[in-house]
Structure 1
C-alpha cells in the first residue's frame, strides 16, 4: 500500500507516513487506493476479538509491517488491562432508537485512546527498527493531548510537545495532561484558542528544514495511523449491531452513525469505512456552536472562523473552526484530483472560503453525510433526557451527537452514537444538567490535586521554535 499527498506526490508506505505528519507540500497522506471489504470478508471478521479485528483492518493499510509484528502491536495496544470493558467497545441502549458505542474505556476515558494506544506502540516499533527518534508536535482542544501523552509517556525514542489553549479545557482534562511528570512530555499552554495552537503546529511542520533538523512528527488526526485505527471501531460496531440479524440479511443491513465532530478525523474514518464497503446508511455530523462544518455540509461553503470568533463552549474538545481532516474528504469529493484539491486550499488562503456548493447534493446522496448543530441548552436537555430514558449518563460532546442524531433516526436502521468521553471529565456540566452535585471519587480528586507541570507561552512561533530547539530529542 503506497500513500500519496492530497496535493500531489508519493509519500511512501505506512511506516513512512506514520512519522511524517503533513506532506512536504502541505497536503495530507491518503492511501493510493482504499481497500474493499466484501460481504464474505466482513462475515469472516465477525468472531474476532477487538485486537484481532484491529490487526485485520489496520493490516489492510500497514502492508509494510509483517502480520505477526502487527498482531503483537495490536495485542499490546488493546490488551493488558488498558481498557476496562471486556469487549473494549461495548454497545448499550440509549432509548429513542439510539445505541451508544462505548469508546471511552481506555486509560484517559476518551475515544482518542482507541487510536492513540495503537499509535504509541506503532511509533516505538518503527523508530526502533530504523534507529531513530521522534519529537511529536501536537495541538489539543481537550482529549487528544492526554491520550497522546499517556500513550507515549516514558518512551525512550519519543518526546511530546503538546500545545493547548490556556483556560479552554476542563479542570479534569488539564489535570490529566499537566500532572504528568515524565521528562519526555512537554505541555505548552498557548495564549489563544485551539486553532492558534493548530496553526503553530502547521507552520513548523511546513518548514521542512526545521522539521528535519528536529525530527518533528505528528500524532493528531492528520496522522493516518490514527485514522486507520479509528476505522476499526466502525467495523466492530457494525458487526456487533448486526450479530442478532438473520444471516441472510446481514450483508445489506445498514446502520447509521452519529459523530460529534471538531477536527473531522473521527467522522472521516467512518467515511472511509463506508467507502470500503461497510453497510453504513448515514454519517451524521454533529457540531457545537462553532458550527463551521455544519454550515459546510448544509451550504457547500467552507468558511473557517478567526480565533476571536471561535467560541468557548461547554463541549470544549469541539471548539474548532478550521478542521484539518476536511481536506481528505474534499480530495475524495473532487475525484481524488490533487491539482483541484490544492487549488481549493489556495482559494481558502486567498478568500478565507472554499465554495463547493456545486457538489452540495452529493454530500448525502453519494457520501451519506448529513449534519446539525447543538447548543449548550441542547446539551443539558439531552443529558437529562438520555439519563431518564436509559439510566446512562453521557458527556457533553456525546450529547451533541445524540441531539443531532435524533433528527435522523429511521425505523429499522440502528443509530449508533459514538461516545466521546466519560462524563466525569465534565463534572460541572453534568451537575448542571442533572441538578445533582457530582462528587469526585478518590482517584479523580487525587488527579485534580496533583502538582502540574506546564509552560505558558504566547501565540508566538519564534518562542515555540526556541523551546523545541532546547528540549527536543537528538538522533
Structure 2
C-alpha cells in the first residue's frame, strides 16, 4: 500500500513514511492510493478476535511495510489491559430510544483520542528506533488530543511533544491532565486565540520544508493518517458486537447508523473509511455544536469556515473548531480523487473564504450516506439530564451533542450507535448543572487538579513559536 497527497505533489510513500511526515510536503493531506476492501466472509472471519487482534488485522491493510508479527506486538502493547482496563477495550452500552453508546473513553486520558494515539505512540517509536532517528511532534488541541498525545509519548525517548492549546478554552480537568506532566520532553504552549489559530501555525511549520527537516518536525493531529486508520478499527468492532447474536442470514442484510460528535472531522472520516472498506454503515450522522460549519456543509453543500473571532467558546469545547482539517480528505473523495480539482477548489476557498459544492449534495446524502445536525448549550443540558434520569448514565457534553442529533435521525429497524467522546469527569461543571450529581473522578486523576502546572503562555505569534521549538527540540 502506497500513500499520496490530496494535492498531487507528493511521491508515493509507505505507511511508515507518512507516520513520520504527518502533513504531505505539498501542504495536502495524505490518503491511500486505493481504499482496501473486505467482503462479508472476510469480515466474518474477524468476529472472534480480541480488540488488539482486530486492530492488527485492520491496520495490516494499511501498514503493509511493517512486518505482521511486529504490527501484532505494537497493537497488543497499545491496547493492553494496563492502558484499557475495561473488558473488551470498547464496550457497547444501550441507553434507550434505540440508541447504543460505543464506549471509546476507557483509555488513560478518558477520551476517545486514546484509541488511536496509543497505537501511534507504539508505531512511531518503532519506526524511529528502526531508522535511528528522533522526532519533534508539534500538535494542536482543542481539549483531548493534547493529553492523549502527551500520555502516549511521555515515555518515548526518541520523541518530544510541543502541544499548542488555546488559552482559556479548555476545561480545568483537560488543562490539569496536560499541564501537570513534568517530563522534560513534554512542552505545553498556551497560545492566544482559538484552536484554528494553533492549527494554522502547525500547518505553516509542516509546510516549511527546511524548518521541518532541520528540527525533525512531525504531527499527531488527525492530519496524520495513522490516526484515522487506527480509528477505523472500532467501527469494525462495533459492527461485530452489534451482530454477535444474529444468524448469518440476518448479518448479511444488517445495516446500522452512527452519530459522531465532530470538530475536526477525523473521527467521522474514520467511519467513512470503514464504510468504504465494507462495514455496513447506512448513515454517518455528524453532530456539531454552535460552531456548525460542517452541519451547514452537509445540509447545503456550502462550506464557509469562520474566522477566529467568529468561533464560539461553548460548553462542548473540544468541538470549538471552525476549519476542519480532515474535510479536505473527504472533498478529495467527493471530487473523484482528482488532485487538480481539489487544488482548484482549495484556491477558491483561500480567495473567497467559501466553497459551493451543492452540485454534489446527492452524493453527500445518498452515495456516502452523510447527514448532520446541530446541538446547542440548552440541548446538551437537557440531554445530559434526560439520559441520566432515564438510564442512570452520565454523558459528557460532546457525547450529549451526539445523542441529541442521533435522536433526530433514528430510523425504524436501523440500530443507531453514538460514539462516546469522553468521560463526564472531564467536564464536571456542566454535568453537575445538567444532572444534579457530580461525575466520579478516579482518585489518581483527581490529584492532577491540585498539582503544579507547567505551561508556557505565548502570543498568537508564529515567529515566537518557531524560536521556542528551535531552542527546545530534540537534536
Same fold (TM over 0.5): yes
Match of residue 6 from structure 1: 6
Match of residue 120 from structure 1: 121
Match of residue 359 from structure 2: 358
Q: How does 1:326-405 map to 2 (within 5 A)?
A: 326-405=327-406
- Distance in structure 1 (CA, Å) of the matches to 2:79 and 2:428: 27
What is the Cα deviation at residue 245 of structure 1? 1.5
Normalised TM-score (structure 1)? 0.99
Match of residue 424 from structure 2: 423
Distance 1:439 1:42, change over 3 A: closer
Q: Tell me if the contact between 2:394 and 2:439 (Cα under 8 Å) persists in the aligned partners.
A: no
Gaps of 5+ in 2: none
What is the Cα deviation at residue 249 of structure 1? 1.8
Q: How does 1:431-442 map to 2 (within 5 A)?
A: 431-438=432-439, 440=441, 442=443
Q: How does 1:313-328 map to 2 (within 5 A)?
A: 313-328=314-329
What is the Cα deviation at residue 344 of structure 1? 1.1
- Distance in structure 2 (CA, Å) of the matches to 1:277 and 1:76: 27
What is the Cα deviation at residue 441 of structure 1? 5.6
Distance 1:429 1:363, change over 3 A: same
What is the Cα deviation at residue 80 of structure 1? 4.0
- Distance in structure 1 (CA, Å) of the matches to 2:438 and 2:418: 26
- Distance in structure 1 (CA, Å) of the matches to 2:108 and 2:286: 26
Match of residue 74 from structure 2: 73
Alpha-carbon RMSD across the aligned residues, in angstroms, is 0.9
- Distance in structure 1 (CA, Å) of the matches to 2:354 and 2:272: 23
Look up the SS of the partner of 2:7 in the other structure: coil
Match of residue 290 from structure 1: 291
Gaps of 5+ in 1: none
Match of residue 254 from structure 2: 253
- Distance in structure 1 (CA, Å) of the matches to 2:443 and 2:409: 40
What is the Cα deviation at residue 437 of structure 1? 4.5
Q: Tell me if the contact between 1:228 and 1:269 (Cα under 8 Å) persists in the aligned partners.
A: yes
Q: How does 1:73-152 map to 2 (within 5 A)?
A: 73-152=74-153
1:412-451 CA deviation, whole Å, 9 max, x = no partner?
1110000000000000000110123557564343110001
Match of residue 33 from structure 2: 32
**Structure 2 residue 191 is matched with structure 1 residue 190:** yes
Q: Tell me if the contact between 2:425 and 2:440 (Cα under 8 Å) persists in the aligned partners.
A: no
- Distance in structure 2 (CA, Å) of the matches to 1:252 and 1:440: 42
- Distance in structure 2 (CA, Å) of the matches to 1:55 and 1:96: 34
What is the Cα deviation at residue 390 of structure 1? 1.7
